Amino acid sequence: MKKHIPNAITSANLFMGCLAIIAALENNLETAAWLIVGSAIADFFDGFAARLLKVHSEIGKQLDSLADVVSFGVAPGMIFYMLSQEYLYFGNDFPQFVPLILTLSYLPFLIPVFSAVRLAKFNIDTRQTDSFIGVPTPANALFIISIPFVLQNGPDWAETIFSSRYFIIAYPIISSWLLVAELPLFALKFKSFAWKGNEVRFSFIAISVALLLVFKFFGISLSILLYVLLSTYLHYTRKS
């Protein structure tokens, strides 16, 4: 019986991802975002349960990736698509841009495509046991789900950024590249809770908490950005 517990939790992740897609299509973007948060919690606990119960299985590994494609690829991609429908405009004086707008509005579907590629690479890449190569799909999803909350709650200058057509066009392209880029990023996996060896992890967590306290929902976006920039800085300083 216990061998089915991690897969049941993974299935809950997938189920909430499906509900998130429905909520996004109904333009309930904050509901969709909370459902993806639920998927992320389930994604954490399925691995935790597998380690605790010592019931690792190949089917569990594959099911986890399939669930993540939906919850952290398709669902956030759908949220971003709905955002593009609202904010991707060039003004009423430029009807010649209509075909361009229609084409650009499909850019958010790069997110599920490259999320699937990212997860497939992760399953066969032996380098990603203690770190990541490319931005993890849950991190990208967390950035995206912060957007509806920021647009609803501010701050105003962050709303201006996220509602800009330049951001709506650029983000799917940049985030899709980051998902599959050969960029090493540190993992928040603690082998011990000693300061030595975990300086970067503890510092990142402390700064992220401060960002959340100061900027609230926008702090999520800033924390993901910090994660990428800090990992990039560490990668290139260690190389030099």
Check residue 42 and give its pLDDT: 87
Question: How far is the C-alpha of 49 from the C-alpha of 162, rounded, in Å?
Answer: 37
One digit per residue, the tens of pLDDT, for the chain of length 240 reads 666 677 788 888 899 999 999 999 999 999 999 999 999 888 888 766 666 666 677 776 778 788 889 999 999 999 999 998 888 765 555 555 556 666 778 899 999 999 999 988 877 766 766 667 888 899 999 999 999 999 988 888 989 999 888 899 999 999 999 999 888 887 776 555 666 766 778 888 899 899 999 998 999 999 999 988 888 887 777 765
Check residue 128 and give its pLDDT: 62
DSSP 109-120: GHHHHHHHHHHH
Dig out the tokens for 75 from the structure.
């669902």
Q: Give CA torsion, residues 17, 108, 25, 140, to 10 deg.
A: 30
The domain ranges of the chain are 2-187
Check residue 50 and give its pLDDT: 62
Check residue 193 and give its pLDDT: 60
Check residue 1 and give its pLDDT: 65
Question: How far is the C-alpha of 201 from the C-alpha of 65, rounded, in Å?
Answer: 25
Question: How far is the C-alpha of 192 from the C-alpha of 127, rounded, in Å?
Answer: 21
Helix (H, G, I), strand (E, B) or coil at 186: strand
Name the residue among 84, 64, 73, 65 with its Cα closest to residue 36: 73
Check residue 34 and give its pLDDT: 95
For residue 183, which amino acid is it?
Answer: L
What lies within 8 Å, CB to CB, of 224 at 6+ separation is: 139, 140, 142, 143, 146
- CB neighbourhood size of 26 (10 A): 11
- Which homologous superfamily is 2-187 in? CDP-alcohol phosphotransferase transmembrane (TM) domain (1.20.120.1760)
For residue 30, which amino acid is it?
Answer: E
Name the residue among 17, 122, 114 with its Cα closest to residue 75: 17
